Structure 1
Amino acid sequence: MTSSASRPQGAARPHARSSWGRRDHRIDALRGVALLMMFVDHIPQNVLNRFTLRNVGFADAAEIFVLLAGYASWLAYGRNFARVGLRAGLGRVMRRCARLYVFQAIMVVVTTATIRYWRGFWPVPVDFLEPELAHGLSSFWRVMFLDALPSNLNILPLYIVLLGCFPLIYLLMRASLLLTLAVSGGLWLLTNLDPAINFPNWLDPDGWYFDPLAWQFLFTLGACASVLAARHDGSLPRLGWLRVACGAYLAVSALEAFPWSQWGLPDLRPFVVVAPDKSVLAPLRLLDVMAIFYLVQSSHATRHMAEGRIGRVMALFGRHSLEVFATGTVIDLYARLVFTTFGAGWWLQIAVNVIGFTILWALATVLDRQRIRQKERMAGASAAKDHDAPSSSVPGLKRAH
């Protein structure tokens, strides 16, 4: 028999709403911030990437993105399993995976076509599409079958694998959260002890850059955190000692990760720590992202910040993460080509960033308006159905025409 402490019963509570009856925008806002940082980080010549998360900690926006993917997966699919059943819920997960793959395929085709066209006019370094693919299309099928993952096109395949495994994670969580964390954490630990345990990648003998067998732990932690937050009105339990410990760890992490030499400043690192391995989600990176998430999701102040103007703009990006991420990846490609070909002067820096952020904001705005109109249509249809229901549900009462 499963104890009440381990069974995710609190997931049935509508934790997307705050105690004041308003939507909690923190998850969407944090995801929006992560998406914009990923957009900036994927342009090496962009001066703005000196101000992103990776400069003040061991983790970066990718860890935030995967953690929130797990958190949102429980909200979108975990609770849905209980309502519609395992088969229907599984179908919904598979449809989402198919949609992710379509976006991945589009990005691959656009990237390949763009580089081949650009090369007809200006030289393009081979690292824009791995050397084995840069000069021909004979191995293009490998990319489409996820057997070869070029740089900057490797995070959606990770998400596809993690989401595809979510039904198994769900079943474990229904049995016991502690068992789920033990199994998932044990697999993560195994990959850290032996990094050779990985999915094969034709372009890299070391395997996938984001090892799914390691990163699944972060995804699972996010799903379990969603269950825990549901039991506390959408927030993680506020423990003073834990908040102090997280703050202290992040302070040390910031001192260790800050690029002192790049800014021409004296090195203030208290220790000499080798950069933790991102591929296997090394412990220092895992602790970093979990500390950030706990401080955000246990704070009343961050809830109010997410309700503010900037927070709502960030949440706008976060609500449409797939479209924003895919579009940002394509813009990143063009920005890198422009900087490589024409230089990274200040005017181009301003133009690339202003145009890029404007496109992403316009896309998110259009998609959000469509979302609102769809909700209004659904609400109208539901109201009409409820209005007609009483006359047809009372025996012997005929509907007036």
Structure 2
Amino acid sequence: MTVTSSSATQTFETDRSGSQTDATAGARIRTATQATSETAGKAHTRDHRVDALRGIALLMMFVDHMPQNLLNRFTLRNLGFADAAEIFVLLAGYASWLAYGRGFAKNGANVTLIRIAKRCGRLYLAQTLMLIVCVVTIRTWRNYSPVPVDFLEPELAHGFDSFWRVMVLDALPSNLNILPLYMVLLAAFPLIYLLIRANRFLALALSMALWALINIDPGINFPNWLDPDGWYFDPLAWQFLFVLGASGAIEASRHNGDLPSFTWLKALCGLYLTFSLIEAFPWAQWDLPTLTPFALPSPDKSTLAPLRLLDVMAIFYLVQSSTLARRFAETRFGQALALCGRHSLEVFTVGTILDLFGRLIFTTFGDAWLLQITINIAGLAILYGVTVVYERKRNRDRARARAAA
């Protein structure tokens, strides 16, 4: 009995000790799991500044592409040397590195190359859709009301004999020339990635050298059957802005999404943007005395002239190094802008088509205040509605993918 009791007591103590050990181990596992989850949550917190800035650029492009729209007096092109196109391409490079640059290491070359090819295919389909809608709409509208010749190149206005040139990007109509630039830059991204992985500063130096060459000799360009000067956005020059965007994504990823903050650099950027505002502001359009100190000619957009490049880089640095901009992007209005930025292709495609209808309405019925207000409110509401629809679709797709996993 004594032996049995002793054995039972020993067994009980052993079980209790084991239970305590298991409980301690379980607590440690739970604590470690919780800490890992919190760390992962912090590491994957999305920085909405880039999306919000891209959303602003897309909405400005919608406004700018209607020349009769009085709202475009307040867009970036009247407040400095650069405009929304520069922001769009810079952020395209930034987003491409986040989506595909990290994808090469995470998912492998084959998967990432397929993703890039699919994205280029979507860009091409969007370009084709916009082109067909524009040609059909203008040719139909002409049956009821005169349409200025600059709405569509004469070669496309009089027939479809040259349509194949547009489909192979040998001819780029006006206002339909930025997606082809994006396609070329995205198709070149694997090469850009290899150069950056080999040596980021060497890649930047080579890219800058090519940009400088194009600014010295603007005749080096892709051919455009509709324009003897070539593509309006010369890809050989604009690739530098794309590479700068990718490099900015690398640098920001090392500082929790922020670019390193230097007070002296922010001051220089602020001074340059002030100079840019004074030089580029349309004083005569507002019936104000001209205050430009130098009256510089407008910097060339096709070759991405240095003044334009410095302008967009200053804007990007101030936004991406600012905690105030981060807080703004988290507000309800900032989130609405970020939503537009996350669905940039859909917003740009629908916005370009709405621009055409807005121009036709203004040309046919005039640009009175009531019509101005109606078109702007209706257009912006439609664009926001598009983002809501696609965001819900994206959330449903992600929910199904999680359920399947």
TM-score, structure 2 normalization: 0.89
1:131 corresponds to 2:154: yes
1:27 corresponds to 2:50: yes
1:49 corresponds to 2:72: yes
1:262 corresponds to 2:285: yes
Using the alignment, how far apart are the partners of 2:292 and 2:191 within structure 1?
Answer: 42
Equivalent in the alignment of 1:299:
322
1:245-303 CA-partner distances (Å, limit 9, x unpaired) = 00000000000000000000011112121110000000000000000000000001100
Using the alignment, how far apart are the partners of 2:360 and 2:64 within structure 1?
Answer: 15
Q: Which amino acid aligns with 2:314?
A: A
Equivalent in the alignment of 2:129:
106
Pair 1:151–1:18, CA change in 2 (3 A): farther
| Alignment gaps of 5+ in structure 1 | 1-16, 383-401
Equivalent in the alignment of 2:28:
none
Within a 5 Å distance, the mapping from 1:216-365 to structure 2 comes to 216-365=239-388
Q: Which amino acid aligns with 2:320?
A: Q
Contact 1:172–1:180 (Cα < 8 Å) also in 2: yes
Within a 5 Å distance, the mapping from 1:79-228 to structure 2 comes to 79-228=102-251
Q: Which amino acid aligns with 1:65?
A: F
Pair 1:18–1:30, CA change in 2 (3 A): farther
Q: Which amino acid aligns with 2:254?
A: R
Deviation at 1:350, TM superposition (A): 1.2
Using the alignment, how far apart are the partners of 2:392 and 2:172 within structure 1?
Answer: 34
Contact 1:18–1:233 (Cα < 8 Å) also in 2: no
| Alignment gaps of 5+ in structure 2 | 1-39
Using the alignment, how far apart are the partners of 1:21 and 1:210 within structure 2?
Answer: 35
Q: Which amino acid aligns with 1:27?
A: V
Equivalent in the alignment of 1:63:
86
Deviation at 1:379, TM superposition (A): 2.6
3-state secondary structure, aligned to 2:250: helix
Equivalent in the alignment of 1:388:
none
1:83-131 CA-partner distances (Å, limit 9, x unpaired) = 2222221111111101100110011100000011101111111111112
Q: Which amino acid aligns with 1:128?
A: F
Deviation at 1:378, TM superposition (A): 2.4
Q: Which amino acid aligns with 1:96?
A: R
Using the alignment, how far apart are the partners of 1:329 and 1:156 within structure 2?
Answer: 11
Q: Which has the higher helix share?
A: 2
Instruction: Report the number of matched residues.
Output: 366
Identity of aligned residues (%): 66
Equivalent in the alignment of 1:387:
none
1:229-257 CA-partner distances (Å, limit 9, x unpaired) = 00011110001111100000000000000
Q: Is 134-143 or 70-79 further displaced after alignment?
A: 134-143
Equivalent in the alignment of 1:373:
396
Using the alignment, how far apart are the partners of 2:287 and 2:227 within structure 1?
Answer: 35
State the Cα RMSD in Å.
Answer: 1.2
TM-score, structure 1 normalization: 0.90
